[in-house]
Amino acid sequence: MSLRHSSIGHNFNVPTEFNPADHTHDYTEVNDGAGKTLDVEIAAILAHLSSIDSELGSLAGNLTFAGTVQMATGVITSVTAAGTAVGFTTGAIPVDPPVGSVNLYFVCENGGSFDGSVYNGGDWLVSEGNGNGWAGIHFDSTVNVLWDDVGNKPTEFPPEAHTHVITDVTGLQAELDDKTDVGHSHVIADVTGLQAELDAKANLSVINGGSY
């Protein structure tokens, strides 16, 4: 009579109790079920973040804020010192940017179309330099502009006491032109119906003389 012995497999690292007692794992022991461990995922994430950081640094280093534009009317509404230095001025957006203006950008105050592209408020209009036209950077929502980058702002709020000439106030001269000068006179004929009213009045000398 022969006896057969069944072979029993041995398992290692088996918890000593179920549910297992509180314990920890090194992140290299965690995988996605397909062999890719968490340390590989973290390395990929860090590399991606590094790439993003590099792109942002490049963007910040290359682009310079030049002012603001109203895309609805195609007009530059404000210009910073950097924009002025290369020849930008307020008024219609030039079809071709000035020489030396490459990578200067304007923030759109509102939406509109320009150079075949549609812009929303907050988008950037970027100069590609003289002879190369414009490019757009489009955002899903309005972007923020640093306070230091806003040109022609008052130095305090409310603004310090100051004056303006008539031409600084839109439409003021036209309104003044429609006003009558102080200390002027009119002849009777300038007043409609006045002569008829005067003709119907009694003469003052006749009243004083007693004629009734």
Of 114 and 50, the one with more pLDDT: 114
Question: Angle at Cα 48 formed by Cα 43 and Cα 49, nearest 5°?
Answer: 100
Summarised one tens digit per residue, pLDDT across range 98-151 is 999 998 999 999 999 998 889 998 889 999 888 899 988 887 654 566 677 666
What length does the chain have? 212
Q: Give the Cα separation of 67 and 82 in Å (integer).
A: 9
For residue 99, the SS3 value is: coil
Of 157 and 71, the one with more pLDDT: 71
Give me the mean pLDDT over the 53-64 stretch: 63
Whether residue 101 is contained in a domain is answered as yes
Of 143 and 82, the one with more pLDDT: 82
Write down the mean pLDDT value for the chain. 78
Banded model confidence at residue 3, pLDDT cuts 50, 70, 90: very low
Whether residue 51 is contained in a domain is answered as no
Summarised one tens digit per residue, pLDDT across range 167-197 is 888 888 888 888 877 777 888 888 888 888 8
Domain that holds residue 71: 61-149
Q: Give the Cα separation of 188 and 77 in Å (integer).
A: 51
pLDDT of residue 87: 95
Look-up of token digits 């988008």: 123
Q: Percentage of the chain surpassing pLDDT 70?
A: 67
From 43-57, 109-123, 159-173, the region with the lowest mean pLDDT? 43-57
For residue 191, the SS3 value is: coil
Whether residue 32 is contained in a domain is answered as no
> What's the predicted TM-score (pTM) here?
0.41
CB 109 within 8 A of CB 133: no
Amino acid letter for position 34: A
pLDDT at 34 over 80: no
Taking the C-alpha atoms of 59, 63, 69 and 75 in order, what is their torsion angle to the nearest 10 degrees? -130
H or E segment at 39? helix 38-62
In eight-state DSSP terms, residue 166 is: G
Strands (E), the chain: 64-70, 75-79, 91-92, 104-108, 112-114, 117-119, 124-127, 134-137
Whether residue 92 is contained in a domain is answered as yes
pLDDT of residue 80: 93
Whether residue 44 is contained in a domain is answered as no
Q: What is the number of structural domains in the chain?
A: 1
Whether residue 169 is contained in a domain is answered as no
Of 46 and 91, the one with more pLDDT: 91
Whether residue 86 is contained in a domain is answered as yes
Whether residue 42 is contained in a domain is answered as no
pLDDT at 5 over 50: no
